[in-house]
Amino acid sequence: MNKIFQLAFLLMSTTVFAQVPTVYNPVTGKTWMDRNLGATQVATSITDVDSYGDLYQWGRDTDGHQLRTSNTTAVASATNAPNHPDFILASLDWLVTSDDNLWQGVDGINNPCPLGFRLPTEAEVESERLSWSSNDAAGAFASPLKLSIGGARSRMSGAIGNVGTFVGYRTSTLNGSQTRLLGISLSTSFMGNRERADGNCIRCIQDENSAHLPELNLERSLIKIVDVLGRESELKHNIPQFYIYDDGSVEKKMIVE
């Protein structure tokens, strides 16, 4: 009896990415989430409340602190996982000892973005800013990313201010004890420094070199098999075919007999 070896590898997974709506900027060649992290919709205006999303302290995971209604505490954390949902008030950092390893890349510690996404670098955000039609909130909203201006949260008081007039978008880039951030107001935009304890918006970027595979879905069903030209086909041996499932995932397989 011949042994059948199934050589399966991922071609593209919409299990990972189709569940995360994206937008592409042809000028920069980058793909981003189409909304802020925590937002319920793409911005319809620069002051669309449902597009503002959450406010993250730099380096923290999605643990509840990012919610605009979260409670506050003045007790700094000794670890990078505070194990509570409170926004930590501090003059500089929410950590007792700063950790520069947080948020560095798609596999970075505490990466709050969906699988296959990460915090953008300063250079990536700056490229987007330079592609806008105008260097202000209007230009940010007119861009493919449709950025809105949802304010920021104070590291000192926990109050959320400047909603509708200013916003800060986090990057993974550090500048000494501070972090780099895209600031947008009604009249201008700029790359600046921000303390780690402040609360700011996040727009995640798709990682081009991500090797992550989709989560295994044992309940998915095969819809059809197609050949390399996209034509529906029966199962065939010794040639590559694409298996399309009802959860949106696609696998490239070759059954060697």
Which tens digits make up the pLDDT trace of 170-182?
A: 999 999 999 999 9
Q: Is the pLDDT of residue 56 over 80?
A: yes
Biggest CA pair distance of the chain: 74
Pair (107, 196) in one structural domain: yes
Q: Which of 172, 190, 206 corresponds to the end of one domain?
A: 206
> What percent of the chain is modeled with pLDDT above 90?
72
Q: Is the pLDDT of residue 7 over 60?
A: no
- Give me the pLDDT at residue 239, please: 75
Pair (178, 250) in one structural domain: no
pTM recorded for the entire structure: 0.76
Pair (231, 161) in one structural domain: no
- Number of domains present in the structure of the chain: 2
Pair (202, 220) in one structural domain: no
Pair (143, 246) in one structural domain: no
- Give me the pLDDT at residue 231, please: 82
pLDDT digits (tens, 9 = 90+) for 205-245: 999 886 444 444 446 778 888 877 778 888 887 677 777 87
- Give me the pLDDT at residue 17, please: 35
Alpha helices in 4-161 (DSSP H): 14-17, 122-130, 137-142
- Give me the pLDDT at residue 213, please: 40
In the sheet with 166-175, reading across from the earlier edge strand, the strands are 166-175, 178-185, 189-194
Pair (122, 178) in one structural domain: yes
Tokens 């909203």, residue? 141
Pair (183, 239) in one structural domain: no
What value does the mean pLDDT take over residues 27-53? Answer: 96
Q: Which domain holds residue 10?
A: 5-16+213-256
Say how far residue 54 (Cα) sits from the centre of its chain. 12
Cβ(205)–Cβ(31) below 8 Å: yes
What value does the mean pLDDT take over residues 13-36? Answer: 78
Pair (44, 151) in one structural domain: yes
Q: Which helix (H) or strand (E) holds 179?
A: strand 178-185
Pair (158, 54) in one structural domain: yes
Between the alpha carbon of residue 180 and those of residues 31, 60, 120, 126, the distances in Å are 21, 15, 11, 11
pLDDT band per the 50, 70, 90 thresholds, residue 256: low
**239: phi then psi, degrees, rounded to nearest 5:** -135, 150
Pair (185, 233) in one structural domain: no
Pair (192, 222) in one structural domain: no
Q: Is the pLDDT of residue 43 over 50?
A: yes
Pair (129, 174) in one structural domain: yes
Question: Hey, what are 253's tokens?
Answer: 């397989």
Q: Looking at 19-23, 38-42, 119-123, 187-191, which range is the least confident one?
A: 19-23
